[in-house]
Amino acid sequence: MNLLLPPNGALFWLATAISLPTLLLAVRYAPWTQLFINQARQHILFATILALALLWLLQVEVRATLAIHPLLITVTAMVFGWSFALLIGVCALVVLECYQLPLRAVHMDWDVALAQFDLSALPVDFCLSVLVPASWAWCVLWLVDRWKFKNPFTYFWGVGFFGAMLSCLLVGAAALTLFALTASDVHLNSTREHFFVFLLMMFPEGFINGLIATVMTVLYPDLVKTYRDDWYLKD
């Protein structure tokens, strides 16, 4: 979910106050050593940033105020963990804006397109499109790790499918809360009137996340940070 209209001052500063501490925590606790010693993991990380930005171009505009798109942050958190999921997400948001520059330039001059390069909505987009689904995925992973029912499908579908489905509703609820707290009436009214779009996104979001999580875990289990053979395959 991304804003198409710049946020008001209250929305910007509240989102910034939430985003900056979480990003600092992500930088502080991210397993950088594991990333630096594994070249394949580095390639997947950079490819994920570019792929997410491309995927987020497939968005549905709501009254020229909001853009709703697939997230895929749940599977990103499953593969990389919470810290790297946040860092990948914020980088993908910046790359997304860079992707949109040539698209705008098709309909206007490059000078005008560059003048419209605006990152003021980045903190809000980060909170709604990255922080909420990544944190929810981490909570679901925590719960699944404590279930007594030991089966890989509790990981593939419990987190990847059902967890991702519910993340769509949480993003919508978080957007309503954030816009209401900051009196961002334009965004609030658009989200409230078109909340059904979040319901429509639930199944495709769950299916894509569950499918990618299954493929990655089956074919490349060593690259999936949150998967534990000793737990899910324990007799």
Distance CA 222, CA 13 (A): 40
216 and 75 in contact (C-beta within 8 Å)? Answer: yes
Distance CA 43, CA 196 (A): 37
Distance CA 136, CA 140 (A): 6
Task: Please give the single-letter amino acid code of residue 110.
Answer: W
State residue 235's pLDDT score.
Answer: 47
- Assess whether pLDDT exceeds 80 at residue 149: no
Q: What is the pLDDT of residues 175-209, one digit of tens each?
A: 999 999 999 999 899 889 989 989 999 999 999 99
Do strands 2-3 and 60-62 pair parallel, antiparallel, or not at all (unpaired)?
Answer: unpaired
Q: What is the pLDDT of residues 45-66, one digit of tens each?
A: 999 999 999 999 888 887 778 8
The label of the residue with tokens 């059902």 reads: 162
Count the domains in the chain.
Answer: 1
- Assess whether pLDDT exceeds 90 at residue 18: yes
- Assess whether pLDDT exceeds 70 at residue 110: no
State residue 223's pLDDT score.
Answer: 79
Choose the weakest-confidence range: 103-107, 111-115, 187-191, 213-217: 111-115
Give the full edge-to-edge strand order of the sheet including 2-3: 2-3, 66-68, 60-62
In this structure, what CATH number is given to the domain that contains residue 27?
1.10.1760.20
Helix axis angle, 73-80 to 202-219, nearest 10°:
20
Angle at 27 between CA 9 and CA 231, to 5 degrees: 120
Task: Please give the single-letter amino acid code of residue 72.
Answer: L
Structure pTM? 0.89
Reported as type and span, the H/E element at residue 2 is: strand 2-3
The DSSP symbol for 221 reads G
Whole-number percent of the chain with pLDDT over 70:
87
Residue 52 tokens, joined: 């997410």
72: left (phi over 0), alpha (psi -120 to 50) or beta: left
Domain assignment of residue 60, given as a range: 2-232
- Assess whether pLDDT exceeds 80 at residue 145: no
